[in-house]
A = this chain, B = another copy of it.
């Protein structure tokens, strides 16, 4: 560990953090992402992500000393920062004075392993980072075997996704793929039924199909447009959550949550 003090909002470390927080491209060029707050920073470290840089204002460091001191020791650089620098780094409404820069894992977070009795969630062209974060938080809580994302979903490592996931992104195996259809085929080949969450004439309802026994996978589509026909056609069948007349749909994160709960309950 190297230790330094940063008092200038123009320091290269500060500029890099801001760039990584704001740009997906910058994150993937450097293969780094950022965390804000002692809790999220601690979760990234606990999940095995390598801390490149830890920034902490004095008071913030002391008040989360047990979480942060091992990270400070492990980090390439530990930067003590002033409140003015903390303000510059902060993305959240109530900044806490702790910020991390971590090295990404390849192609997602923890690796997803296909098994015949595993539970999987597939996300196709999801749009909203808040929805993705909420889904990852819920997937972690309900212990799914893996989340598979098409590569046009929001970035797993964007600050909004990390924040909404409450660290769930570090606890759940998740992989980003440019071939979601290939994963669907691989799951089916392993004996895992793959259900498209889509309203089709021949769709079964969640009252008829039990997701609790054995392996299963559910594919959730885009918030506005749902799932593409090509994706639906590749699945074992379609599955809908029954609803009252007059209601057409649930929020995408909510629908995912109901499926995840059914897998877990």
Question: Closest Cβ of chain B: how far from A254's Cβ, in Å?
Answer: 5
- Bound form: Cα–Cα A264–B243 in Å: 9
Total residues of chain A contacting the partner, CB 8 A = 31
A111 touches B (CB below 8 Å): no
Question: Inside 8 A of A247's CB, which chain B residues have their CB?
Answer: 137, 140-141, 168, 171
Task: Determine if B207 and A243 form an interchain contact, defined as CB atoms under 8 angstroms apart.
Answer: no
Interface residues of A in 97-123 (CB under 8 A from B): none
- A244 proximal to B (CB < 8 A): yes
Collect the chain B residues with CB atoms within 8 Å of residue A207's CB: 265
B-contact 0/1 string along A134-168, CB 8 Å cutoff: 10011011110000000000000000000010101
Closest Cβ–Cβ distance, residue A210 to chain B (whole Å): 11
The CA-CA distance from A263 to B147 in the complex, in Å, is 27
Interface readout for A240-265 with B: 1 if CB under 8 Å, 0 if not?
Answer: 01111011111101100110010011
A209 within 8 A of B: no
Please give, as numbers and ranges, the residues of chain B lying within 8 Å of A264 by CB-CB distance: 242
- A166 and B140 CA atoms in complex are apart in Å by 28
- With a cutoff of 8 Å between Cβ atoms, the chain B residues found around residue A249 in the complex are 141, 166
Task: List 13 additional A-B contacts (Cβ < 8 Å) besides A137-B254, A242-B265.
Answer: A134-B253, A137-B250, A137-B251, A138-B250, A138-B254, A140-B246, A140-B247, A142-B243, A164-B251, A171-B247, A257-B257, A257-B258, A261-B261
